Amino acid sequence: MTPAVTVIGSGASGVQFALSLLRKGVGVRMLDVGRKGRPPVLPDASLNELKAQLSDPAEYFLGARYEAALLPGVSEEYYGIPPSKDYVFDHPEGFSHASAGFSPLFSFAQGGLGEAWTGGCYPLTEAETGDYPFPHRDLATQYDEVARRIGVTGANDDLARFMPLHDHLMAPIELDQHSELLMQTYGRVRDRLNRDGAYLGRTRVATLTQPLGSRQACDHLGRCLWGCPRGSIYTPSQTLRECQTFPNFEYIPGVEVSHLRIGSDHRVQAVVATAIGTGSAQEFPVERVALAAGALLSTRIFLMSILRRTGERVRLHGLMDNRQVLMPFVNLKMLGRPFAPDSYQYHLLGMGFETESPLDYVHGQITTLKTALVHPLIQRLPLDLSTSTFIFRAIHAALGLVNVNFRDTRRAENYIELTADDTPRLRIHYQPDAGEPARIKDALARVRRALFSLGCVVPPGMVHMRPMGASVHYAGTVPMTDTAAPFTTTPDGQSREFDNLFLVDGATLPFLPAKNITFTLMANAARIAEAAF
C-alpha cells in the first residue's frame, strides 16, 4: 500500500518531520541510504580509560590506516574526523561532485550530518526570520516542541538578547575550570565588553543534563568527539529509533534515491532509487513526497528529476553557508595549571557581537581545551617536538578556541547545477561577497579585544579561516517565498513545480544567520508537518 507521505533522508529535518506526522497518525515511509557506524566500544570508560583498556588504542583513535592522525603539510584544519565517525561522511560508490570555491561535506549516514554535530541549538530572532514567509511565532512554537524532544540545555543570560528563550530549556552543563574562570572574569569586565557590543554567556546545546527517554545525562567521559556512548549528545538517529516504534512508520534503508518520476500532471508519481550493493533499480510509488536529504543532496534529487522530466539542466542560485573562522587563544591565568581529563569536550560558552543591522550578528563558540588528541596542536609550535611537548604541557589548560560564525545571504553568483556528464554530478560554485574581508577583519578585531579583556591573548599566525562548505550549514537553493516564482516553495515547503512535493530541509531557508541552523531545520520541518499535513 502506498503510504501517505514518503520522506527521503533520515537527517535532523527528516526525522523531526516524520515524528510530527506519525504523532498525527499519518503513515510515513522513509527511504534512506542509512550508513551506520560501529556501536560504541566500552561504553562506561572515560577517554583515558579507553586508552588503557583498548588492546589497539591507536586503531580506535587514529584509524586502522592512521588516517585520523593529522600530519604536517596534509591538512589545514585543527581537527579531522575521528575514525568512529568516518561513516557519517562515507559516499556510496561512484558518488562525486564538481565544486569551485566550496568544499562540501555530504552524508549518507543514518541520521545524516547531525550524527557528527556539536549540538549547538540557537533559535532565530524575529529580525532574522524577516525574510521567512511565515510568522516567527510559528517557528517559536516548534522550537519549544523540538527542545522537548531532543533536550536542550542553556541559561537565561546575556546571550538571550541574541537567541530567544524557549520552553523546556534544561540547566546548563557544569563548567570546566577554564570556562568558569572566563565567566568570572566576564563578570568583572562585563560593562566594558557590553559597551563594545560584546556579550558572553552559556551556549545552548542538545546535550542532556538530565536523562531523557533512554538517553543518559552527560557524565563527563570526555569522549564527545568520538561519539558519546551515553547518548547524551542528541543525534537524529535517536529520533529515528523513536519513529520506528510507531506502527504507521516504515523505514527502508539501503536505497539511494536518484530522482523523482514526474507525471504529465506535474505530480511526482514515484521515487526512483538504486539498491546499495546490488545497484538494482527500484521504484516506490508515492502520494506525497518530502525531500529531507540535506540541502545539497535534496537539490541534486530535485535537479535530476527536472532533467529526467524535461531534459533541462536548471541552475539554482542562492546557495548559502556560514563562513567560520577559528581563533585560538591562551588564557594567561590558566598557564601551568592542570586540566580535568574527564570533562565535556565541546563549547560551553558563547560570544555574541551586536552589529548595526541585527542580521549581521556575529556568533562565537568558545571551546576550552581539555581532553583531546593534542598532536594536531603541538606540531604547530615552531620548535622541536621535545620542546613543543614540554611547553604545550604548560599551556594546555590555558588554550581555547573561538569558532567565529558569519551570516550568509542568497546571492545570484552562487549556484548549484548538474554537470553535462552521462551520470550527472552536482556542480557547486561559490564566491564570497565583496564585503566579506572587511566584515571578517572587523569582527575578528572585536573578538580579539573581547578576549584580551578576558585575560586571553591570541597567538599570532594561528587564526584559521575555514573554507566555505566546512561549517556544513547549507541552505537556500529552493527558498520558501510568499509570492510564487520558479524554483521556490510555498511558505509550507510545497514545491511550485510539483504539487505533491515538499522540501523540508535547509534547501528552503531564505536567509542564513550566523548560527548553527540545525535547531531551526528541525523546528521548520516540524512546522511544515503541522501546517501542511
Partner 1 sequence: MAQAVFVTGGAGFAGRRLLAELRRAGRTVVALDRSGALADAAAGDSGLTVVRGDLLDPATYRDALTTCDTVVHLAAATGRASAADHFRVNAQGTEALLGEATRAGITRFLFVSSIAVTFQDVRGYHYAIAKQRAEQLVAGSSLRHVILRPTIILGPGAPILKALEKLALLPAIVLPGNGKARVQPIHVDDVVKSILTVVEIDLFDNEILDIGGPSIITMEELLQALRQARTGRAGRVVHVPLPLLRLPLGLAEAIGLGAALPISAGQLSSFRWDGVAGANRLQERLASGMTGLSEMVSGGGTAGAEAPPYVPVAADSPAILADECRVFTRHVLGRDPDAYITAKYVDACSTMATLQPASGFDETLLALARRGRVAAKVADSYASLLAPASALRKRLVLLLALLETRPPFHDAIDRATGGPMPVLFLRIAIKGAGSMLSLLVGVLVLVPMRVVLAVSGKRGR
Binding residues for partner 1, rule: CB under 8 A, are 48, 51-52, 57-58, 60-62, 65-66, 69-74, 335-339, 341, 371, 373-375, 378-379, 381-394, 396-397
Residue 83 backbone phi and psi in degrees, to 5: -55, -35
Among 125, 96, 200, 128, residue whose Cα is nearest residue 158: 200
Closest contact distance (angstroms) between CB of 146 and partner 1 is: 37
Nearer to partner 1, 57 or 263 (CB): 57
Nearer to partner 1, 127 or 385 (CB): 385
Residue 346 DSSP label: S
- Rounded to 10°, the helix 236-243/136-150 angle is 80
Closest contact distance (angstroms) between CB of 41 and partner 1 is: 13
Q: Which three cell numbers stand for residue 13?
A: 529535518
Neighbours of 51 (CB within 10 A): 13
Neighbours of 102 (CB within 10 A): 21
Nearer to partner 1, 157 or 342 (CB): 342
Closest contact distance (angstroms) between CB of 347 and partner 1 is: 21
Among 343, 293, 261, residue whose Cα is nearest residue 92: 293
Neighbours of 375 (CB within 10 A): 14
Compute and round to an integer the Cα radius of gyration of the chain. 23
Q: Which three cell numbers stand for residue 299?
A: 537539490
Among 296, 441, 446, residue whose Cα is nearest residue 364: 446
Nearer to partner 1, 45 or 257 (CB): 45
Residue 477 backbone phi and psi in degrees, to 5: -80, -30
Nearer to partner 1, 68 or 362 (CB): 68
Among 490, 495, 129, residue whose Cα is nearest residue 302: 495
Q: Beta-strand (E) ranges in 126-267?
A: 152-153, 169-170, 198-202, 249-253, 255-262
Nearer to partner 1, 75 or 210 (CB): 75
Nearer to partner 1, 389 or 409 (CB): 389
Nearer to partner 1, 2 or 387 (CB): 387
Nearer to partner 1, 306 or 373 (CB): 373
Name residues whose C-beta falls within 8 Å of residue 397's C-beta, 6 or more positions apart in sequence.
177, 178, 334, 335, 336, 337, 338, 339, 369, 370
Nearest-5° angle of CA 300, CA 305, CA 307?
95
Nearer to partner 1, 4 or 374 (CB): 374
What's the rounded Cα separation, in Å, for the pair 330 and 333?
9
Beta carbons of 405 and 163 less than 8 angstroms apart:
no
Which residues on neighbouring strands pair with residue 326, listed in sequence order?
Answer: 403, 464
Closest contact distance (angstroms) between CB of 47 and partner 1 is: 10
